[in-house]
Structure 1
């Protein structure tokens, strides 16, 4: 019997990636293209240059299918494609499908407010998401997943459809004619355009299947569905989330979003803005001196820094990092900080302190979420490239005091796409069967109880108290320098 294949398209903040799976969950091949550096037209604005998301997507397709053909595989056995494109962005389109303005990224302060038409946008016929835009490029359909509308959108999260409340549309400064039709995760958005299929050697009419927003798809692809199991997604924005059964109302410490399985919800607390970006920033700004040493030892610079961080004791000998390189919207005056320097500290201390600061921040946010829900955590699943670091995985286990695990494939979004795609075309009988086939468990890191006790004291007495002492000074600093 011939094998069958599923495609997952994952376009994030930094890259576009196509992964081809067989229906047993094995990775057949993949193609990847880095996105270009973000355009910053003014402070607190961020745009993807030109048509970068679509350009990178096409190159990722090209590379994946070239490899697929090199393996001598039958493209006719590709059954469906699930797509997941970066969330919380705003796309302004013309009727012909072209961009009216570069895609506005989630880090742009304009996303904190309803859509407002500006003269430089010119003619705008549709206001949509990145998933709506890429769906239109792939299929020609004006459709989108209902589960990628977070922020200023008139979406009814109980009905999983556009709201019928006129006031909500007015609040969002939108009309029904300006937005696409929506479908639920796991439903078919449309079929691949003939010219796209022919260009990349894909089946004519290949079903293109809806997923959800990227963190929800990642949670599905990580297999983190059981009560007490949380996903920590290590990306440019680091998210922390658990699954739920209902659209919880009036929550204080978390938000309920539509999940990547219909009629399920994802509960997400505050995360870390520019989380792994900060780690990359440190590598790029302060790693030059380590680069030659890394090359001599035959390792990448991230591995060298991780090895040095592993030699540093928990707590980084008193060096504390506050991760506000991108301030939260409710306190835009905040800035990142490292405090506690003395003569013991090396770049290994600084690198470990960055990692510990991420873990502390997530622990404090997640504690509030789980206390409000009445459901303590029993296990962490860590996803994303940062999960490759043994020292980072152990820090999570020690700070939280529970096991931290990583799957064999750390990039869970593509797996979530394949799960939704396979369910849409009958490759799997249920979500549970799909998860059992596609999600491959990996390493487990058990907490060191002494390290956990020390981290808990340091967090309670120092880390969780820092912002209330720094905030008055940063409020004075911000208007002077911003």
Structure 2
């Protein structure tokens, strides 16, 4: 498709964990203009808690939009529509006047409660027979709404609407309590198979202290949610009456923004949470009783495996051990990432036997709640550089294990990789990923893949493309491709099969002993 300077533009608002970005895309998927505002209103009132001021999310969105209109190429007259994508699992309680009742509980929060609603005997028996009774108890205890009812009953009683962050932002923009079915990833009564609220007899309504009236209306990705209100137009500078379209959660949007719409092409997200996803028309549980998430395509599923703290570990390393590179970057006026790439590249593949298991935060089923991170193989030859490369390699090993689990359960064969997220900007990370997976590994043509996925949803919803297949084909393409290096691949193959795949099973008893002795992780 040829694009003229007067063709429509699409506004994607991407509310991630670290920032809100206002992004303008044209119909070829080129990023025309961008504005970014950091999110710094996080707080941790107690260890393991993670909250954010609700109105501060909206104010950051407004500031990002107002900054966008000052950028070259940001022509409001060419805007055709707007769509929101946001971090998953962050929840907001509103009263009858639409006022926040407490700070948002974010997806990083680790609080849980033992005071949960009772589940009927029939469902308890079914879970016990299926061997998932413990998992279900854990999930119910993790649900934010159950914690609020148990520990802040006055907030629960006053809650008129219980929304995900995407639903809150869509309401502030369009004035309606309506959200995309593609954004519903949280401890809520959602039917993942049918991509709608659970039926009236579903166990979720017993196990979660949420009422149907608290939840928004749902619409599929690409559907029109409404129009920008006069108040939102005044706050953001987005033209009043502009169509507001449904997108999906940030990971789901990343997948289609990276062009991964066929099961043989997997999307790796090297973000705060590291994930591997494929898009499937079939409902596939890569782990039994853990559902696939809704895709940014209205009739598809995103089959996902994740490493919960993922590339957060890279930032952890930089904060704890990367002061030298960050100081050098300031003195030499270069990007710190370039120096960290040099650090990783100074170490041979396999990090001279230093192996890392990236379970910095415990999981629910795989790995289990007892899991901890581990680094084994230390010797006097190892330096910070070896630790840094071992982190990158450990994340890639874990995601390869997820790939193989998806292939076994789904009966698919993954033959290509796309990598998005902050880690995709590292050539060292890209090359070792290609080597560990043994597959060609490509960057998408733009870094802002979650925003691009939201723009694709908007383009189809507005009729600017006739269907999702043509929109993805017209708006996505690959950038640099990294091919596996045979010598590196041989080293990684042996380390992965002979060492990495055995680590968790052999360390698991010790993880349990650590939890028993220290009490951390709680509930292991």
TM-score category, normalised to shorter length? over 0.9
- Deviation, 1:95, is 2.1
Partner of 2:88: 87
Task: Please state if 1:273 is matched with 2:308.
Answer: yes
Q: 1:270-307: per-residue Cα shift (whole Å, max 9, x none)?
A: x1111111101111111112333334544222211211
Within 2, Cα distance between the matches of 1:57 and 1:10?
9
1:16-415 aligned at under 5 Å gives the runs: 16-36=20-40, 38-49=42-53, 51-67=55-71, 70-71=72-73, 74-110=75-111, 112-113=139-140, 114=143, 115-116=145-146, 117=149, 118-119=151-152, 122=155, 123-168=158-203, 169-248=205-284, 252=288, 255-269=291-305, 271-330=306-365, 331-415=368-452
Within 2, Cα distance between the matches of 1:364 and 1:289?
33
Q: 1:358-405: per-residue Cα shift (whole Å, max 9, x none)?
A: 000111121111122221211110001111111100111000001000
- Deviation, 1:459, is 1.3
Unaligned 5+ segments in structure 1 are none
The 1:306–1:259 alpha-carbon spacing in structure 2 relative to 1, beyond 3 Å, is: same
Partner of 1:6: 10
Partner of 2:115: none
Q: 3-state SS of the aligned residue for 1:329?
A: coil
Within 1, Cα distance between the matches of 2:289 and 2:216?
31
Task: Please state if 1:461 is matched with 2:465.
Answer: no
- Deviation, 1:251, is 5.2
The 1:229–1:124 alpha-carbon spacing in structure 2 relative to 1, beyond 3 Å, is: same
Check the 8 A contact 1:138/1:192 in 2, yes or no. Answer: yes
Q: 3-state SS of the aligned residue for 1:166?
A: coil
The 1:404–1:98 alpha-carbon spacing in structure 2 relative to 1, beyond 3 Å, is: same
Partner of 2:121: none
The 1:347–1:416 alpha-carbon spacing in structure 2 relative to 1, beyond 3 Å, is: same
Q: 3-state SS of the aligned residue for 1:397?
A: helix
Partner of 1:470: 507
Within 2, Cα distance between the matches of 1:239 and 1:16?
21
Q: 1:60-119: per-residue Cα shift (whole Å, max 9, x none)?
A: 11111222xx54x54122010111111122221112222111111112235743422132
Residues 274-283 or 173-182, more deviating:
173-182
Moved >6 Å (runs of 4+):
none
Within 1, Cα distance between the matches of 2:41 and 2:270?
19
Check the 8 A contact 1:233/1:239 in 2, yes or no. Answer: yes
- Deviation, 1:252, is 2.9
- Deviation, 1:19, is 0.5
- Deviation, 1:324, is 1.7
Check the 8 A contact 1:306/1:351 in 2, yes or no. Answer: no
Q: TM-score, normalised by structure 2?
A: 0.86
Within 1, Cα distance between the matches of 2:202 and 2:232?
40
The 1:344–1:350 alpha-carbon spacing in structure 2 relative to 1, beyond 3 Å, is: same
Within 2, Cα distance between the matches of 1:202 and 1:175?
34
Q: 3-state SS of the aligned residue for 1:462?
A: helix
Aligned length: 478
Check the 8 A contact 2:273/2:307 in 1, yes or no. Answer: yes
Within 2, Cα distance between the matches of 1:50 and 1:445?
41
Q: 1:233-278: per-residue Cα shift (whole Å, max 9, x none)?
A: 1111111110111223695397422211111111112x11111111
Within 1, Cα distance between the matches of 2:159 and 2:380?
57
Unaligned 5+ segments in structure 2 are 113-138
Within 1, Cα distance between the matches of 2:152 and 2:290?
36
Check the 8 A contact 1:217/1:260 in 2, yes or no. Answer: yes
Within 1, Cα distance between the matches of 2:52 and 2:234?
27
Within 2, Cα distance between the matches of 1:295 and 1:100?
42
Q: TM-score, normalised by structure 1?
A: 0.94
The 1:253–1:321 alpha-carbon spacing in structure 2 relative to 1, beyond 3 Å, is: farther
Partner of 2:128: none
Check the 8 A contact 2:354/2:376 in 1, yes or no. Answer: yes
Check the 8 A contact 2:50/2:109 in 1, yes or no. Answer: yes
- Deviation, 1:334, is 2.7
Within 1, Cα distance between the matches of 2:76 and 2:206?
47
Q: 1:424-474: per-residue Cα shift (whole Å, max 9, x none)?
A: 111112212222232132000000122112111111121122223333233
Please, which of 469, 473, 476 is the counterpart of residue 439 of structure 1? 476
Check the 8 A contact 1:91/1:128 in 2, yes or no. Answer: yes
Within 1, Cα distance between the matches of 2:376 and 2:193?
45
Q: 3-state SS of the aligned residue for 1:334?
A: coil
Q: 3-state SS of the aligned residue for 1:246?
A: coil
Within 1, Cα distance between the matches of 2:211 and 2:342?
54
